[in-house]
Amino acid sequence: MTSKQDWWRGSVTYQIYPRSFMDSDGDGIGDLKGITERLDHIAALGVDAIWLSPVFPSPMADMGYDVSDYCGIDPTFGTMDDFDAMLDRAHALGLKVIIDQVLSHASDQHPFFVESRQSRDNPKADWFVWADPKPDGTPPNNWLAIFGGASWEWDARRRQYYFHNFLREQPDWNFHNPEVQDYLLDCVRFWLDRGVDGFRLDTVNFYVHDKMLRDNAANPLPWAQQAVRPFEMQYTLFSKNQPENIAFLERLRALLDEYDERTMVGEVGDSHHSIDLMGEYTSGSKRLHMAYSFELLGPDFSPGHFRSRIEAFFKGAPDGWPCWAFSNHDVPRHVGRWLDHSEDQDELAKQAAALLLSFEGSICIYQGEELGQVDTVLTFEELTDPEGINFWPEKTGRDGCRTPMVWDRDAPNGGFSKANRTWLPIKPPQQARAVSTQGENSVLAFYKEMLALRRAEADLRDGKTVFLDFPEPVLGFRRGDDMVCIYNLSATPISVELPIDIRSVLDQAAAIEGRALHLGANGFVIGRVS
């Protein structure tokens, strides 16, 4: 069984996007008091922890992922007292609290960057990544920014370029400077001393860059040349994923190990080595506790894909630990991504919940998943996300999955806010799935049932996975000694022969007749060996 110190193994974390969870002061933007007001909803689900996307002071060029003060609270969300009250209430409800740490880059309004760009010889001159131009004035290499254009921005005062993996307003810290690492570790310690239970580490494989600034090669994957974002056309061999990253992760882990019952989960984003990096970064007891990637956040909804990702992780890192998610604030919601595999949105949402919550590893679910939500369709004029604005209409950005949570179908703004206008609009398809509409056989009721089953069954939290060989589109596996999970990942009914006798514990559109298992559209059975 999982120890108290290792509470994070097999845990389920609920991601809160603070701008969109609950608005307590009527300005149309969610805040910390609003989160505190709605924590009972999360506790009633039966999850172990909450994860808050950034609430630090920020100019909001990238909605808080451009941090100008790592040890404060942005007035948009409230005060430090509001944070402490939220933390205390969460702990009283038995919820751990994990907060985002955006350590790879800062805001260009961070005081240290403001100082750094003043000259080449000030005390913070080497705290960010600066480089001279080539003789023809062009950037020092071919690295590209995720949100478009070169990842280098010219600064006339220093007559140098600075590096940014994301927006030009998000300069990258220079992790080759030990003073930078010390400063960021001190910022992490600030929140540990305040009582947070852990950290979600944004873009954890982006921290260290190649000191020689060598050019990236072309991405050899077959889809790369058709990518909407030029960044994806490069094989980012030198702009991230550097071996020195491991040393910093070990310093982070040593810091967390000074405290009881703390954890950290790193976001690994990479088109080539995501699963390998997840394993490398969590292997042993001196690095990350958990890592998650975008491997399950795409369009693929097939037995082969899910099996290959889980098997590859545990084969490559038998002593590592993954955290799996189907949705988050950066990708389209999974029910919408996979609707082609179902004729019933609710049945698909329930099956996806059963599937994710039966995986070996830890789990993260994103606010609104428990309502079966899909993305909100927005016009260009309604967008706030720089990715959507820059790549419209081929890539509509991340606002569609970030629209406010809906609590009451009959209240203005779905009960999210009393404002005349919310920061992103709430539209009828989303309001129709408000918490108030979720009755006895709803998606929300199923989430509670499935989460209770995962808590009750040690095999579903801790048991090893052994995959069973079924024909497509059926995915099947054992968890531990007693549990068997089988899913029809299609809208077409199918029958299969069971390798062992089981009795159902939880199912949908399923019937067992001896060793014959009949699964309807998006049918599944989670059973116990009998």
Domains, the chain, ordered by start: 12-104+175-208+244-442 (3.20.20.80), 465-529 (2.60.40.1180)
Alpha carbon separation from 526 to 348, 355, 396, 410 (Å, rounded): 16, 9, 37, 36
222 Cβ contact partners less than 8 Å away, ≥ 6 residues apart: none
How buried is 260 (Cβ within 10 angstroms: 0-12 exposed, 13-18 middle, 19+ buried)?
Answer: exposed
Residues 374-405, buried b or exposed e (16+ Cβ, 10 A)? bbbebeeeebbbbbbebbeeeebbbbbbbbbb
Query: What distance in Å separates the CA atoms of residue 448 and residue 370, rounded to the nearest whole number?
Result: 9
280 a catalytic residue = no
Taking the CA atoms of residue 223, residue 228, residue 230 and residue 233 in that order, the dihedral angle to the nearest 10 degrees is 0
Burial of 440: CB neighbours in 10 Å, binned 0-12, 13-18, 19+: exposed
CA atoms within 13 A on the CB side of 207: 26
User: What pLDDT, on the 0 to 100 scale, is given for residue 367?
Assistant: 98
The catalytic position among 121, 136, 193, 258 is 258
CA distances from 487 to 32, 459, 524 (A): 39, 18, 4
Q: Evaluate whether 490 touches 521 at the Cβ level (below 8 Å).
A: yes
Cis peptide before 428 (omega within 30 of 0): no
Is 258 marked active-site? yes
Q: Over its length of 530 residues, how does the chain's per-residue pLDDT go in tens digits?
A: 578 899 999 999 999 999 999 999 999 999 999 999 999 999 999 999 999 999 999 999 999 999 999 999 999 999 999 999 999 999 999 999 999 999 999 999 999 999 999 999 999 999 999 999 999 999 999 999 999 999 999 999 999 999 999 999 999 999 999 999 999 999 999 999 999 999 999 999 999 999 999 999 999 999 999 999 999 999 999 999 999 999 999 999 999 999 999 999 999 988 788 899 999 999 999 999 999 988 999 999 999 999 999 999 999 889 999 999 999 999 999 999 999 999 999 999 999 999 999 999 999 999 999 999 999 999 999 999 999 999 999 999 999 999 999 999 999 999 999 999 999 999 999 999 999 999 999 999 999 999 999 999 999 999 999 999 999 999 999 999 999 999 999 999 999 999 999 999 999 999 999 999 999 999 999 999 99
Candidate list 48, 169, 202, 370, residue with the active-site label: 202
H helices of 317-414, where? 334-337, 345-356, 386-391
Question: Looking at beta carbons, which pairs linking 22-27 to residues 24 or more positions away fall under 8 Å?
Answer: 22/405, 22/407, 22/416, 22/417, 23/404, 23/416, 23/417, 23/418, 23/419, 23/422, 26/417, 26/418, 26/419, 27/417, 27/419
| Predicted pLDDT at 1 | 58
Q: Return the SS3 of 199.
A: strand
Per-residue confidence (pLDDT) for residue 273, from 0 to 100: 84
DSSP states along 271-309: TTTHHHHHHHHHSSSSS-SEEEESTTSSS---HHHHHHH
